[in-house]
Amino acid sequence: MSTPTYDATSRTAEAGGLTLHYHEAGPDRPDGTVIMLHGGGPGASAWSNFGGNLPFFAARFRTLLVDQPCFGRSDKTAPDRDYFSYSAAAVAALMDELGIPAAHFIGNSLGGGTAARLAIDHPDKVDRLLLMGPGGVSVNLFSPDPTEGISRLFAFNASPEPTRAQMRDFLLTMAYDPAIVTDAFVEERYAQAVDPEARLGAARMGAAFARWPEESQVWREAHRITRPTLLTWGREDRTNPLDGALLALRTIPDARLHVFPHCGHWAQTEAADAFHRLALDFFLN
């Protein structure tokens, strides 16, 4: 199978009253479906978070990387409820549109909160749940709040004219190894983040969290997640620190935890090989 490219895998669909953009690839006879939901930093999209992982998962699974509402090339309509519920409903509608009865989910950060909410609201649509430093279900027990990563995200999004230096500062909090934050990477994410449509989407997502703060606390309902759940964390995560895993691990009935050493908020990049092996074993066994 040739390496999946952005253009060759790009798709759109009407789902739940929204136009959603996603990438899809996979074999003719897959071992199931994997849906991957990205984080919420400036310039984030399905491809920016998971494009590098698509070849691995598409070798075995029907794999979808979904631009959540307000991100990437999906609609930037203002949410009419808390963001996690809004995005989860959109993803559930996309599954119905594409004829996907159930799937394994990988959710990073913001996408982890969406995946967890989907497992609560639509449990029949979730086979297994892999959450990576997830928002919503993690609570900082020992680390200050907001964390360093969240503070830099807020600073970028709140700036009338955000700078490349602010983008670099934000990206450096995501990584354990600063070498992955190259000039080209900063420029790519910066160009995506300052696009007027991207800024509108970020503002509308942020407004939803501000308007429905209580409903955004998915951890309060984490005991309702009945599907097998693998929590994964970078030991050096400065956005959703490792201590945030403890409540989710205690509350989700069928949860287990894996910690990647020498790793920040992006295990799929900094610990890609180990992350791939872990996900494959979890989904197939």
Which amino acid, one-letter code, is at 244? Answer: G
Count the residues in the chain.
285
Q: If 0-12 CB within 10 Å is exposed, 13-18 middle and 19+ buried, where does residue 6 land?
A: exposed
Q: Are 211 and 129 in contact, with CB atoms under 8 Å apart?
A: no
What is the longest distance spanned by two Cα atoms in the chain?
49
> 179 CB contacts (<8 Å, ≥6 apart)?
none
Cα–Cα distance for residue pair 240/232, rounded to 1 Å: 11
SS3 155: helix
Q: Are 153 and 41 in contact, with CB atoms under 8 Å apart?
A: yes
Tokens for 274? 């180990």
> 191 CB contacts (<8 Å, ≥6 apart)?
43
Annotated catalytic residues are: 265
66, 61, 64: which is closest to 90 by C-alpha?
66
> 151 CB contacts (<8 Å, ≥6 apart)?
none
